[in-house]
Amino acid sequence: MKLLVRIAIAIAAGIGAGFVFPDWVARIFATFNSVFSSLLGFVIPLLIVGFVAPAIADIGKRAGAMLAATVGIAYLMTFGSGMLSYFTASLTFPGLIGDSVVNTDTAAGSAPAPFFTLPIEPLMGVTSSLALAFVLGFGCAVSGDATARLKGVIGDFRNVISLIIAKVIVPLLPIYIFGIFMSMTIEGSVGPILTTFVKIIAVIFALHVGVLVIQYLIASLFSGYNPFKSLWTMMPAYATALGTQSSAATIPVTLERTIKMGVSRDVAGFVIPLCATIHMSGSTLKIVACAVALMLVRDMPFDAMMFAGFIAMLGITIIAAPGVPGGAIMASLGLLSGMLGFSEADNALMIALYIAMDSFGTACNITGDGAIAQIIDRFFGRKRQEGTAAL
pLDDT at 347: 84
Q: Which stretch of DSSP H or E encloses residue 204?
A: helix 190-223
- According to the model, what pLDDT value does residue 320 have? 58
Mean pLDDT of 155-162: 84
65-69, 136-140, 182-186, 246-250: lowest mean pLDDT where? 246-250
Q: What is the pLDDT of residues 67-118, one digit of tens each?
A: 788 889 999 999 999 999 999 999 988 887 765 555 544 444 467 778 888 8
> What is the predicted pLDDT for the residue at 248?
67
Q: What is the CATH number of the domain that holds 33?
A: 1.10.3860
CA distance 387 to 245: 40
Residues 6+ away with beta carbon under 8 Å from 25: 17
Number of domains the chain contains: 1
What pLDDT is stored for residue 386 in this prediction?
Answer: 43
Instruction: Give the pLDDT confidence score for residue 329 in this predicted structure.
Output: 80
In a domain, 303, yes or no: yes
Tens digits of residue pLDDT in 188-242: 767 777 777 777 888 888 898 999 999 999 999 988 899 999 999 998 888 877 7
Which residue range is the domain that position 226 belongs to?
Answer: 2-385
How far apart, in Å, are the Cα atoms of 88 and each of 113, 204, 288? 38, 9, 10
Judged by average pLDDT, the poorest of 61-70, 116-125, 147-156, 363-372 is: 61-70
Q: What's the pLDDT score for residue 103?
A: 52
Q: What percent of the chain has pLDDT over 90?
A: 15
CA atoms of 279 and 293, how far apart (whole Å): 24
Decide if 390 is inside a domain: no
Residue 373 belongs to a domain:
yes
- Average pLDDT of the chain? 80
In a domain, 49, yes or no: yes
Q: Please state, in angstroms and rounded to a whole number, the distance separating the CA atoms of residues 362 and 238.
A: 8
Residue 341 lies in a domain: yes
pLDDT on residue 1: 52
Give pTM, 2 decimals. 0.77
Alpha carbon distance 81, 116 (integer Å):
42
In a domain, 134, yes or no: yes
Least confident of 82-91, 117-126, 283-292: 117-126
Helix axes 170-187, 2-20, angle to 10 degrees: 30
CB 220 within 8 Å of CB 226: yes
User: Domain for residue 246, yes or no?
Assistant: yes
CB 39 within 8 A of CB 120: yes
